[in-house]
A = this chain, B = another copy of it.
Amino acid sequence: MENKITSAQHTEMPDLEVLFDLADLFKVFGDSTRIRIMFTISDNEMSVLSIAEALNMEQSTISHQLRVLRQNKLVRVRREGKQIYYSLDDDHVKKIIEMGLDHVLE
C-alpha cells in the first residue's frame, strides 16, 4: 500500500496465501454444474429440488455443489418450511461470470 501510483500498470504481487485463495475462488467457477446452478438462481431464488429438475440432475449432486458454493460465500440461503431457497450472494458474483463470458464469447 506504500506505493500507489494511479496511472502505473505495475501490479503488486499479493501474498502467496491470497493467491491460493484466489485460485480456490476461481476453482469454484471452474465446474459446469456449479456455473449452471449459478445461472439458474441468478434471477430468482430456487429450492434445491427445483434446481435439480431445471438442470435434470440428481438432488444429491446439486446439494453437494451448493455446499461448495455456500462455503465460498457465493450463495445466500433461506429456509421456508421444508424447502431451502438458494440465490446468488451478490452482484459481484454475476460480474465475475460476465467478465468470463466476455472472454469466451469474443
Among B20, B103, B105, contact of A32 (Cβ-Cβ < 8 Å): B20
Give this chain's copy count.
2
Task: Give the number of chain A interface residues (Cβ < 8 Å).
Answer: 41
Residues of B within 8 A of A35 (CB): 19, 22-23, 26
Residues of B within 8 A of A34 (CB): 23
Q: A103 contacts B20, CB within 8 Å?
A: no
Known contacts A96-B99, A99-B96: does B39 contact A11 (CB below 8 Å)? yes
Q: Is there a chain B Cβ closer than 8 Å to A10's Cβ?
A: yes
Q: A18 contacts B105, CB within 8 Å?
A: yes
Complex A-B: 8 CB contacts under 8 Å = A10-B43, A13-B40, A21-B104, A22-B35, A23-B29, A23-B31, A25-B103, A95-B99
